[in-house]
Amino acid sequence: MTRAVLFAMGALYVAMCVGCDSFVGPTSGVVRFDDGTPVSSGSIEFRRLTDKERFASRITPEGAFQPANQDGEIGLPPGPYEVVVVQIVLTEDLAKEAHSHGNTVPRRYADYYTSGLKVDIDDGQTDPVEIVLQSH
């Protein structure tokens, strides 16, 4: 093979590998109450202050989440974010002992104007994000 063909193949390989690693910044996190119990249902959304791009995830029963942009790419790029935690609990047709949503997230956390939750993601940060909600 000629040197030009080898160079082109190498450049293509590098471009493909860069596309494979679309994870940026922290790719996971946990949301919990101030008493240590996890938020066990709902969703979490991060809105980057610089351009208003949103990254969202469902919350697992363990309080874990993986924020993704609208294209499904997981990770939080560097920057400052506002955060909301939304939990919709439909229980009118369930007996009290059948409720499995865990502790209820206070309503103020569902609105960017009242949540008070903020996160700054630094360049190179990969540690999971931890969000703590006050129970009251």
pTM of the model: 0.76
Q: What is the mean pLDDT of residues 56-81?
A: 96
Tell me the three state secondary structure of residue 3. Answer: helix
Q: Say what the pLDDT of residue 80 is.
A: 98
Q: Which of the four CATH numbers 1.10.3470, 2.60.40, 3.30.1490, 1.10.10 does domain 25-133 have?
A: 2.60.40
Cβ–Cβ < 8 Å for 44, 84: yes
> And the tokens for 17?
């590998």
Q: Say what the pLDDT of residue 127 is.
A: 95
How far apart CA 86 and CA 43 sit, in angstroms, is 5
How far apart CA 91 and CA 73 sit, in angstroms, is 33
Cβ–Cβ < 8 Å for 5, 57: no
User: 23 vs 103, which has greater pLDDT?
Assistant: 103
- pLDDT tens-digit readout, 75-107: 999 999 999 999 876 555 555 555 555 688 999
